[in-house]
Structure 1
Amino acid sequence: MKKDRWTVAVTILVFLFILAIRLPHINNSPCEHGDFWRQSDTESIARNFIEDRFNIFYPQFYYDGAKPNYVQLEFQITTFIIALLYKAFGYHYYLARLVPIIFFMGSALYVYLIAKRYYGNPAGWFAAIAYAIMPINIFYSRAIMPESAALFFFTGAFYYFVRWYDDEKLSFLFLSGVFTCLSISQKTPTIFIGLAMIFMLIRKYRFGFLAKWELWAFAAISLLPNLLYFIWSKSIAEFAFVSNIGLIHIVPKSAKAFFQLYSYKFAAIEISTAVSLGLIPLVTIGFIDAEWKKDYALLIWTITMLIEVIAVAAVIKLRYYFIFITPITAVWAGKTLGKLGKSKRTVIGVFLGLLIITQWNYFWAEAYFNEKDNILKQAEVIQKYSSKDDLIVIGTLEPALLNQSGRSGWRANIKYYENIPSGPEKEIQYYIKNGAKYFSPLGGYIYGDDGSYRKYLDENFEKLGEGQYFIYKLR
């Protein structure tokens, strides 16, 4: 009984710690230095659910053009929950950040359960902490993005699959199928977990698994809803900027990445940064110390996620795509630390060591929490001089000004849409003809401007505002 109480007490303290380090900066706007474009877009979808069409199957942006701007993106679990919270309690950024935090806490629980299943406690505790204090997770676990939801379903899918693999209870297999489906619906690269599952099935049944109906049912549950949603979202999408983004920007380059030394160097640097130099040695020791028979599932999971790193993350070069390597690296770190902390005395020592690494990793992530004050101030100017239904043109490639001000409109001078003419005068007249009332630069900045765009605006339109924060009245 005493041992059970000790285990429960420590587990509760571990998860309270994981939650506590995610509470600073919880009321930050989406306009943080860390991926403000993606955070801003995500939060704007939640607002548009409330303000325009409260339907999870119709996500839309504030850009490019007048509403609706339905968009082909992931299934909107995170944003729809945020919208429900906004509707009940009002627009508060801490509500938006609580959603990914709770999803991340759930994924930390699965990391704990996986590590505990293979290596017991204290390895489970240490794995959960290592997972939580990795620099990439310190920031993105509370970012207004779908990554935390993807991690939750991703880790849950693997955990329940392992449970089925060992116990052969169909409930675990089908639950894993649901989690796999939802994981892929949030971030397509999580589909690589399926590769690990296939290798596990070959080991268990050889190729006889192809004759098992329950595994075909598992595949249908995992994949079919995502295929149907992809077809649906493509059919309604009016916004072309992110449509088929994976097929256009990733798939054609993935095969080549495996034959380019740069891909491996880039991946090694990003993984070290994401996991941290304090934890990488522990991860490496745990991996090298693995036993093929005992740790087969974890080894295969590791290999398949390294394949994902090269095929996807190293191609698209967005830091948050490296986040899916963190659960398995945390398990390896937990294994190593579990061997170091076998007694209560050494457990305390390991915990203190992890606290030091936490402080260092948090210091590394701190810069990403800083808000972009210039965007926030410019958005206030837009809100001051325009009404909610006014169409706005902004002078930045990033749409954060539209999202933050809650206005629909266009991004000027990006030369992306064939139907929008080039040149300051022709482009501005196009926007006016289509209903634009104001033009907002950012501190006088206009994307891709050689000076002619700003000159045309200065000579032909009235400025509203003071100093560097102003907008042009187009009509």
Structure 2
Amino acid sequence: MGLGGMGRRINGIFVLILVLGAVLRLKGVTNPYLDDQSWRQADTASMALNMLGHLGDFPDVFFPMLNYDGAGPQPVELEFPFLPYLLAWTWALLGWQDLWGRLWGICFSLLTLGGIYKFGKLALSERAGLWAAAFYAFIPLTTYYGRVVMPEPVAQAFSIWALVAIFSWRRNPTWIRLLGASILMSGAILAKLPQLMIFPVALMLGFYPFQRRLGKILVYSFLSLLLPMLYYSWVHLGAGEASQFVSGILSHQVMEGPTSYAEKLYKNLKYGLGLPILLALMGIALMVRKKVLGNEVHLGLILWSGISGVYLVVVCLKIPLDYYLIPLALPMVLLTGYTLDTWGGDSEGNGIPAFVVGALLVGLLWVNQILYYESKYQWDERLLTQAQWIRQHTEENSVLILSGSQPMTLYYSQRYGYRLIRDDLRAWLDLQELPGDYLVALPDSRGEDFWKRIESAYTQVGPGVYQIKDQQ
């Protein structure tokens, strides 16, 4: 039986999707920020930690500050700290617990689910929106990264609602709606700079065909891009050459990096996004067959897919981190929803084959998550034990030097410090120059000769903690 005419049952189906999506994202919700992508999560949380006591200091409170590479907070060039600011306020009101950051991530992920359903309902069909939301709820990549303390959940939520807003404006073109759509687009780009990829899609959805709409396009573009340009210019100039994170990623890792991680990318796509990719490709083929030039929604989704393909080759092939694939999830699930809706036929009972295939794939996604994504939830207890000892037994203003590059210890010990990131010989020389009080031996870092030299020169005062200041 088709979904047409089901009335309240449709709302019930969507609520069920939301509940199941929330349940999947609650897995490991009480874990510290030491599971997969712990570095990025600790970065986000440390920005929130550095905001405490300064929550009303506008605009300086929004300049991202991290705990490493200095004896105090270090300014860095990162995306606008929406999540850190919310997290800092939550800590100020309810106390410092990692749980709150994960719950905020889940809230934004569920907002994304709502936006997917809303967009599908407005631009495609109610059934397409339900299918798209269901796949987003179960895809392993979006499930895991829907409960992390990273900007990805925020960027996804802003992005889909920005497209909902501009498409709603198209149907009811008031200036208030255009302003709202512009603000949401600004939020998407501020939350994550690569979300600029959806800006051309928004232009297609809102203004195609473009004749006689140049004025409104310019207004929307100006309002959408003004705040991101001001913010990213501010952090670029204020962070300094040593901390160019946003513009540095593309110039160094992508444009200059000779390595391509084709095998790694294939595995990330296979295990993280899974079989729905095939349905998304089928959706593109179906749209092309229907002569899409007169349909702004089909054109927008095809354009989005093309931009995603370029992003996949230019960025994801060069950076072997699976969370860079997250921007691909939105167009993929919408195209998957369109495919199953089109395949399902009309509302007179022709939807059974599509329902069977869709339900089977959703089930396989859940199995895929169990088989291949369990390791993402694991974390090393030694890091937390060590950081807690430092926090309890060292001076609050003590400066740490970490034996490796991973900075999570600084966040959990609530200390500032430096990292030894060069080879063992140069790390020893750097250690003599850096103004630190304690050297922290991170698990599985450095070679045996390095530690023999450390043990002969310094006293171990805690679990992998060496006092170095008074002995240099």
TM-score norm. by structure 2 comes to 0.86
Task: Choose 145-154 or 308-317, whichever is displaced more.
Answer: 308-317
Residues 59 and 70, structure 1, Cα contact 8 Å, conserved in 2: yes
What does 1:182-201 correspond to in 2, within 5 Å?
Answer: 182-199=187-204
CA distance in 2, matches of 1:370, 1:265: 23
CA pair 57-275 structure 1, distance change in 2 beyond 3 A: same
CA pair 147-60 structure 1, distance change in 2 beyond 3 A: same
SS at match of 1:392: strand
Measured after TM superposition, the shift of residue 265 of structure 1 is: 7.5
What does 1:382-421 correspond to in 2, within 5 Å?
Answer: 382-414=390-422
CA distance in 2, matches of 1:132, 1:217: 35
The answer on 1:61 being equivalent to 2:80 is: no
Query: What is the one-letter code of the residue matched to 2:229?
Result: L
CA distance in 1, matches of 2:126, 2:92: 42
Instruction: Report what 2:455 is aligned to.
Output: 458
CA distance in 2, matches of 1:73, 1:423: 27
CA distance in 2, matches of 1:276, 1:457: 47
Identity among equivalent pairs (%): 22
Residues 382 and 440, structure 1, Cα contact 8 Å, conserved in 2: no
What does 1:280-359 correspond to in 2, within 5 Å?
Answer: 280-290=277-287, 291=290, 292=292, 293-294=294-295, 295-339=298-342, 343=349, 346=352, 349=356, 352-359=359-366
Instruction: Report what 2:231 is aligned to.
Output: 229
Task: Choose 284-293 or 327-336, whichever is displaced more.
Answer: 284-293
CA distance in 1, matches of 2:252, 2:458: 45
Query: What is the one-letter code of the residue matched to 1:337?
Result: L
CA pair 25-182 structure 1, distance change in 2 beyond 3 A: same
Residues 138 and 365, structure 1, Cα contact 8 Å, conserved in 2: no
Residues 261 and 319, structure 2, Cα contact 8 Å, conserved in 1: no
Residues 118 and 129, structure 2, Cα contact 8 Å, conserved in 1: yes
Aligned residues: 451
Instruction: Report what 1:74 is aligned to.
Output: 79
- CA deviation string 1:39-82 (max 9, x = no partner): 11111111121167764323211111211312221111011001
Residues 141 and 273, structure 2, Cα contact 8 Å, conserved in 1: yes
Of 271, 286, 300, the residue aligned with 2:269 is 271
Instruction: Report what 2:185 is aligned to.
Output: 180
Query: What is the one-letter code of the residue matched to 2:152?
Result: E
- CA deviation string 1:316-357 (max 9, x = no partner): 343212111101110111123334555599487567535522
CA distance in 2, matches of 1:376, 1:241: 28
- CA deviation string 1:92-117 (max 9, x = no partner): 21211111111111111111112222
CA distance in 1, matches of 2:253, 2:259: 14
CA distance in 1, matches of 2:237, 2:56: 19
Query: What is the one-letter code of the residue matched to 1:247?
Result: S
CA distance in 1, matches of 2:403, 2:121: 52
Instruction: Report what 1:445 is aligned to.
Output: 445
Instruction: Report what 2:46 is aligned to.
Output: 44
CA pair 17-200 structure 1, distance change in 2 beyond 3 A: closer
CA distance in 2, matches of 1:20, 1:376: 26
The answer on 1:367 being equivalent to 2:380 is: no
SS at match of 1:83: helix
SS at match of 1:3: coil
Query: What is the one-letter code of the residue matched to 2:388?
Result: E
Residues 279 and 339, structure 2, Cα contact 8 Å, conserved in 1: yes
SS at match of 2:66: coil
Residues 313 and 322, structure 1, Cα contact 8 Å, conserved in 2: yes
Query: What is the one-letter code of the residue matched to 1:442?
Result: L
Q: Name structure 1 gaps, 5 residues minimum.
A: 416-420
Measured after TM superposition, the shift of residue 196 of structure 1 is: 2.6
CA pair 371-11 structure 1, distance change in 2 beyond 3 A: same
TM-score norm. by structure 1 comes to 0.86
What does 1:93-172 correspond to in 2, within 5 Å?
Answer: 93-172=98-177
Measured after TM superposition, the shift of residue 264 of structure 1 is: 7.6
Instruction: Report what 2:16 is aligned to.
Output: 13
